[in-house]
């Protein structure tokens, strides 16, 4: 009963290091959290294992009880970000019948998440260089979600006809750009305004 159930995620390279006790669990979590803060703040290469472990309050060697390499924590952070974002968005769009409204709520939730976790945002971006597979998986999954939503909305007659694939990429690009405005450019435009403007564009376009 309650078998550990292998994760269904793809880039599952190393099936090791699962803590067996509560103490271990806690330590691993502490290291992961510290890694998120340190790598998010200093970037992958400037974040040393020493920084991470001291931030976590453990000795350097302890790191390697739970992670095989520095890259491995990083990849796990990317996966975590993926899970978190999907969960957040899915929560925020629960029960919204109209697809367009759901997309709008999803964008708002995404932007709020990004604003609350700027570190995770940067980590995903850096994944393009540290762990490209994780990066592609992250955005691939994201694009799939958009495409599915768009296809269903199209079938339901809630949006006009158009290539769901390019549309998915375009919408994702808009979300990313607005998120980046918040995190990288520290814009203070309220999220609700961003969402409103963006969705006016997405719904009606810019033709006069």
Partner DNA sequence: ATGAAACATGAATCAGTATTCATGTTTGGT
Partner DNA sequence: ACCAAACATGAATACTGATTCATGTTTCAT
Residues interacting with a copy of itself, by CB under 8 A? Answer: 43-45, 100, 122, 125-126, 128-129, 132, 135-136, 139-140, 150, 157-160, 162-163, 165-167, 169-170, 172-178, 180-181, 184-185, 189, 193-194, 197-198, 200-208
Please identify, among the stretches 24-32, 86-94, 142-150, 163-171, the one whose residues bind DNA according to the rule CB under 7 A. Answer: 24-32
| CA-based torsion, 177, 87, 78, 28: positive or negative | positive
Closest Cα partner for 117 from 54, 179, 25, 195? 179
Burial (CB < 10 A; 0-12, 13-18, 19+), residue 65, is middle
| Number of C-beta neighbours around residue 34 at 10 A | 21
Q: Which of 11, 32, 37, 62 binds DNA (CB under 7 A)?
A: 62
Using only C-alpha atoms, the chain has a radius of gyration, in whole angstroms, of 19
Please identify, among the stretches 52-60, 159-167, 170-178, 188-196, the one whose residues bind DNA according to the rule CB under 7 A. Answer: 52-60
Least spacing, CB of residue 56 vs DNA, in Å: 8
Quick check: 207 binds DNA (CB under 7 A)?
no
* Cα–Cα distance, 191 to 61 (Å, whole number): 43
Least spacing, CB of residue 133 vs DNA, in Å: 17
Burial (CB < 10 A; 0-12, 13-18, 19+), residue 92, is middle
Per partner kind, with CB cut-offs from 5 to 8 A, the member of a copy of itself, DNA, none near residue 59 is DNA
Please identify, among the stretches 66-74, 78-86, 145-153, 162-170, the one whose residues bind DNA according to the rule CB under 7 A. Answer: 66-74
What is the size of the binding site for DNA (CB under 7 A)? Answer: 26
Tell me if 117 sits within 8 A of 135, measured CB to CB: no
For tokens 């920084």, the residue is 51
- Of 65 and 199, CB closest to a copy of itself: 199
List interacting residues with DNA (CB under 7 A): 19-27, 45-50, 58-65, 69-71
């Amino acid at each position: 009963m309650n078998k550990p159930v292998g994760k269904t995620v793809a880039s599952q390279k190393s099936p090791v290091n699962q803590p067996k006790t509560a103490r271990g669990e806690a330590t691993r979590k502490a290291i992961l959290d510290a890694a998120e803060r340190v790598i998010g703040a200093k970037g992958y290469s400037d974040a040393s294992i020493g920084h991470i472990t001291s931030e976590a309050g453990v000795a350097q060697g302890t790191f390697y009880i739970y992670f095989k390499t520095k890259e491995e924590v990083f990849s796990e952070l990317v996966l975590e970000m993926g899970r978190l974002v999907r969960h957040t968005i899915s929560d925020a769009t629960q029960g919204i019948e109209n697809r367009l409204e759901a997309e709008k709520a999803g964008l708002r939730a995404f932007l709020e998440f990004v604003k609350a976790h700027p570190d995770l945002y940067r980590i995903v971006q850096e994944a393009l260089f540290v762990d490209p597979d994780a990066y592609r998986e992250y955005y691939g999954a994201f694009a799939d979600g958009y495409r599915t939503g768009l296809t269903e909305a199209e079938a339901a007659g809630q949006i006009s006809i158009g290539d769901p694939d390019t549309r998915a990429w375009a919408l994702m690009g808009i979300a990313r750009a607005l998120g980046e405005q918040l995190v990288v450019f520290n814009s203070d435009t309220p999220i609700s305004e961003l969402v409103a403007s963006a969705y006016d564009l997405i719904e009606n376009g810019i033709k006069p």
